[in-house]
Structure formats: C-alpha cells, structure tokens
Amino acid sequence: MAHIHSIRNILEIKDENIQIENKTTEENHNNSKSIIFYGTLTYTPSGCTNCGVINESHADIVKNGTKMSIIKLGQFNFKPVLLKLKKQRFLCKHCRSTFSAQTSLVDRNCFISNPLKALIVMELVEEQSMTLIAKHLNVSVSTVLRQLIKAGEGLRPAKNYLPIHLGFDEFKSVKQVSGAMSFIFIDNINHEVIDIVENRQQRYLMDYFMRFSYEARKRVQTVTIDMYSPYIGVINDCFPNAKIIIDRFHIVQHLNRCLNQMRIKTMNKLRNVQPRDYRKLKKQWKLVLKNTSDLNFNNFFTHRLYDGMVSEYTMANYLIELSPQLRDTYELVNNLKSAIRHHQFDRFKQLLQDTKKRTYPRKVRTVLQTLEKYLDPIEESLIYTLSNGPIEGINNKIKNIKRSGYGYRNFRNLRCRALIVFSLVKRKNESKELYYELDKAG
C-alpha cells in the first residue's frame, strides 16, 4: 500500500524484513503520551548465530514464536514515536538454541533506533548541553553520553597520517586535573581539530606524537605555536621536516608586555614625587602601548590631565619622556613591532643586534634574549601567513562547551565532544596564499 511506503520513509525504516501495520495508537509509555506504530520482523535466517550451521534446506532452523520489543524512533510534536516490533524467534534444530531476528533498524539488545542515534550525534555538534539534547529527543542523558563516547572515540586520528601544516595550542583542562593545561592541535589549513591531549608537558606530548608513524610525522612541514618553549623540543624531536612558526600576535604581545612593565616601573617611581605624572601614566596605559604610527598627531583638544591643547602624539611623547629608560624601551619596542608588521626580518634582526651596544633594564634584556633565541621561528612567522588565530577561535568555543556542558569533569567526555564539534563537520579547504612577500628593503 502506498501510504505504508510513506510511513516507512518518514520513520526511516529501511529493513524490508520489517512489515509495518496500517495502524497507530497513542498510549502512555514511561509517563509520556507516545505515538505507537506496529510492525513485525521476520525472515528465513541463513544460518544459526549460535552453532553456525548453514540453513540450506530451510529445515535446520524453524520459527519459534515472537518476542515484542519497543523501539524508540524519535519524536513528533514533542511526543515520543515508538515502534512495537514483534521480533521472530528462531530455534536451531542442530544445537537446540533459540535466537531473535536481527535488523539494521536497531542493534541487538538495544531499544534506541539507529537513525535516532545518528540524530543524537548531529545534535552533539551544536553548542548545547547533553541534558537538553536528552530532553529534546526524549532519551536519557546516559544514552546521549553513550553516543558521545562512541562517536568521539571513532574520531581518534589514524596513526599513519598527519596534515602538512599544524597548529598547537593549550587550554585549561577539566576540573579533574586541577590547574593543568590540556593540549590541542589542528590542521592549520582547513582548521579541523586533529586531537586533544590531556597533558601538554613535553615528555607526555613526545610520547603521544611518537605513536604516529615516521611517514606521518615526516609529512609535517610547519607547526605554528605560541611562545611556550617545550613545544620546540617536541617539534624538533618528532617532526624531522617541520619549520616552527611563532604566532606573530604572540611576539607583539610579548613586546607589549615588556613595554607595559617599564611603564609601571616608571609610574611607581613617580608616585610620591610627581603625583600628576603618576596619574597620567596610570590612566593612559593604552596610549603608551599604541603603535607610534597609529597615534593621531593633528587632532588637538583639551585634556583634564594636561595644560593647554594636546594630541595623542604629544601626550604619548610626554609620557615616555618621563624616564629615559621608558623612552628607550618604547622606541625599541615600536621599531621591533614595525619590523614585524612590515615583514622586515633583516631589520628585526639588525635591531636586536644593535641592542647589544646599549644598556637596557634587566627585564627588557630578558625579553631581548628570548627573541634572540626564537629568531628562526620568528623569521618563519614573517614568511608564512599561518597564525594561531584559528586554533584560538576553537579554544574559545571549547570554553563555551565546557560552560554549557554536563559531564565535563571527565576529560574523555570533553575530548569526544570537541572532536565531534570540530571534526565531524568537514570544513571546506580554503585556498589561501601561504607566504608573505618578505620586505628586504627595510
């Protein structure tokens, strides 16, 4: 009958061995009003599931009654849709064992249909709690959790493949490992999450990456990182062909932090002797950190902290001239930032070289030494357009997942959820220019 065919389509019952009856009822099931469909599952088995005898003459295995099972198919208008399925029981004359008919609609000993399980996984892709998914789909939270683990574990990366361009980052882990940072790495071209590792410590990560085949590790050409130095050892040991790229934003951040420390140092010195200047340095921290080239120099106005007319430029100048050390650091940091912005590696290197002829405060010197140490990765960061922007976007979303989530006291659950959210939905490969043109002129 034609409408039976439509019902089968709507209910996603593809197994031809299931006959659907032309009848539905509404009844209470587990305290909720449910829509019930009726069906029968039967066929001639090809063999015995117990002893393996082939049912050649169709006489070795005989029908032996039925068993009713109630299967959750989904829901309609907030009512659960159930299928009361009469499953054929069989008796094997060979070994005298009995068994039930099997169907692709539902796994053995399970009452949640496979299409409904697939739907649960699709819902797990969205940013919502598992409790909410359970409520919407009329299943228990533990059912959602089981699908989470099953789908998530299935997304573990194969050990014989790694993408060519990787991005590394870390995020604050679940409560279970208090204070610890977990590690995440992505394909830095299509921004797919490859995996999440519980611990970001060097020996832990080395052990993790060494489990990938040599061929897979050899494929990796670049790894983009922040300034967390243990990664460098991991990359050098595990990826023989990889260039290390330090995210440009982190280099600039590092420089700004150094400049800000000098501002605070100057400010505290002036606290009792020049209270007005102390206030200026305290209030106008943003002005000190702003790139010199971005300061407005022709818009003059009055400002309550200053006498007469001022511009951003004149105020910034006033502030840095409050201490020669602050001024020297300001100039150096601005030159270095400008070299990064314009992809002038030779200039960057020369600026670092020139600092050796001058004296700088100890804190500034430490920063300069760090930059010197990372000179190669910094050069790569001026050559490649790759950055840690995408992975940081993903990390922000992980924070949301943790916030919305039930059950993330457990690292495995969080990892599974993140893999489902970020790698189940395949992203399009963006064709993006991989290299900058290096500015040799500077």
Point out which residues bind Zn ion (CB under 5 A).
Answer: 48, 50-51, 92, 94-95
Which is nearer to Zn ion, 91 or 206 (by Cβ)? 91
Closest approach of Cβ 62 to Zn ion, in Å?
A: 11
Which of 35, 42, 44, 99 has its CA nearest to residue 71?
A: 35
Instruction: Name which of 50 and 335 has its Cβ closer to Zn ion.
Output: 50
Residue in the block written with tokens 């007469």: 308
The answer to whether residues 251 and 378 touch, using CB atoms and an 8 Å cutoff, is: yes
CA dihedral 351, 357, 363, 366 (to 10 degrees): 70
Which residue, 45 or 80, has its beta carbon nearer to Zn ion?
A: 45
Q: Least distance from C-beta 47 to Zn ion, angstroms?
A: 8
Q: How far is the CB of 168 from Zn ion (least distance, A)?
A: 55
Nearest approach, Cβ of residue 57 and Zn ion (Å) = 14
Question: Residue 107 Cβ, how far from Zn ion at the closest point, in Å?
Answer: 22
Minimum distance, C-beta of residue 110 to Zn ion, in the bound complex (Å): 23
**In terms of CB distance, is 49 or 325 closer to Zn ion?**
49
Integer Cα distance of 395 and 397 in angstroms: 5
- Look at the block and give the residue holding tokens 């449910």: 34
- Give the whole-angstrom CA distance, residue 251 versus residue 391: 17
Question: Cβ closer to Zn ion: 60 or 312?
Answer: 60
Smaller CB separation from Zn ion, 95 or 210:
95
Q: Which residue from 112, 117, 90, 114 is spatially nearest to 104, judged by alpha carbons?
A: 114
Determine what percent of the chain falls in helix, strand and coil, rounding each to the nearest 5: 45, 20, 35
Q: Which is nearer to Zn ion, 94 or 219 (CB)?
A: 94
Q: How far apart are CA 102 and CA 110, in angstroms?
A: 11
CB 242 within 8 A of CB 221: yes
Q: How big is the chain, counted in residues?
A: 442
Amino acid sitting at position 204: Y
